[in-house]
Amino acid sequence: MFLAALIAMAAFLSAVPEEALAADNELNLEVKSAILMDAATGQVIYEFNADEPLPPASMSKMMTEYIVMEKIESGELSWDDLVTTTEYAANVIGSGQLLAYQEKLPVKDMFASMSIYSGNDATVALAEHIAGNEEKFAEMMNEKARELGLSESAHFINSTGLGRDDLGKYAPQNIPGETMMTARDSALLAYHIIKDHKEVLEYTKTTRRKLRERDTTEMTNWNWMLEGWSTDSVSLKKYAYEGLDGLKTGHTDEAGYCFTGTAERNGLRLISVVMGAQSEPKRFEETRKLLDYGFKNFEKKTIYSSGSEIEELKTVKMNKGVKTQVPVVTGSDLSILVRKGASDEEFVKEATPLPEDQLVAPIKKGDKMGTLKVKYNEQEFSVDLVAAEDNEKGSWLRLLFRAIKDFFVSIGTSIKNLF
């Protein structure tokens, strides 16, 4: 009987995904990887296997969204510019398939199709419009990934997240491999989108919309957790999540079901990522676990307000100034997510002035004088320490007498040390 029990246990363990057995999967998420991040600072408050490169499917469209919005912000592109649907865009497989060959629609409608309906056709059309062809656009995506600080594993071969085999004759010739991202990459990309181009949420929170006014049917958002579904759909009401307004779903056979979500409650916005869920409902159920964990257990705590004096470094020594020391204060707020009820003893603080050769008058109020680092829960946060007042450069006579004084003080100290 004991042997039979061992065999049964071995069979059970072999059937359970390795990820589900990982000790760090505190929330028992049934996904391959996950992460939860503060949208304001990028602070991570939960992660599970977050650095494993995995196929992201359509979550990679967030990079396409970022580049489109960046082009609009720079003036290189306008929401009203007409985009022509190429043969490739019209025939690309997967979600979308709403555009006809040679059809022209403004950028804002193509963007809506990409962001709401995850339209591969509109995504390809936008990529080709910006870069000339999709492969050149994918090169732009990879360059932007490095610029935004994504991991070296973050790699794009097209604008949509489709696999190489799905692209057929349109597969890139000079970009190897497949599109891959880690959960951390996806969260960091979402962080940059929300920080730099928050207007994307006006699209991603939309539950339904017609692509063209003449259409008889509407595009339906694949994101079942949108708060809007609580009043818009009886069947999806049970998935609707308070404050959730984005960001991007993804699914292929290789990737499984993925979702990068974001929700805001009481001024706190979180970003969640799950990758490799086994079903469409499961990706939203596991996302709910993540977001509930964040909102129920964490709160924003202001460690220092801007302009605060700190005990660790009240003044810094100055060279060649009218004053030999200048008081310093925090240059901005330092706020982080902490577990509710966290004590002051949990924060380790260290203040460091700039190197001596950089602390030379003249300086103005607000100039950086050093750095304050605060460590909490194995993560480090920092804020600049700045001059609380001006310090003009001393006259040559003042500096001469100061040098003479320092000389005799040093001699006196040396003599005293002899005895």
3-state secondary structure the chain: CHHHHHHHHHHHHHHCCHHHHCCCCCCCCCCCEEEEEECCCCCEEEEECCCCCECCHHHHHHHHHHHHHHHHHHCCCCCCCEEECCHHHHHCCCCCCCCCCCCEEEHHHHHHHHHHHCCHHHHHHHHHHHHCCHHHHHHHHHHHHHHCCCCCCCECCCCCCCCHHHHHHHCCCCCCCCCEECHHHHHHHHHHHHHHCCCHHHHHCCCEECCCCCCCCCEECCCCCCCCHHHHCCCCCCCCCCCEEEEEEEEECCCEEEEEEEEEECCEEEEEEEEEECCHHHHHHHHHHHHHHHHHHEEEEEEECCCCCCCCCCEEECECECCCEEEEEECCCEEEEEECCCCHHHCEEEEEECCHHHCECCECCCCEEEEEEEEECCEEEEEEEEECCCECECCHHHHHHHHHHHHHHHHHHHHHHHC
Any idea what the Cα angle at residue 209 is, between residues 215 and 90, rounded to 5°? 60
* Active site (annotated) includes residue 58: yes
Q: Which among 33, 95, 115, 118 is annotated as catalytic?
A: 118
Sheet containing 315-317: give its strands across: 315-317, 325-330, 379-387, 368-376, 348-353
**Of 32, 33, 61, 186, which is the active-site residue?**
61
What six digits make up the tokens of 85? Answer: 């649907």
Per annotation, catalytic residue among 58, 115, 159, 186: 58
Q: Catalytic site residues?
A: 58, 61, 118
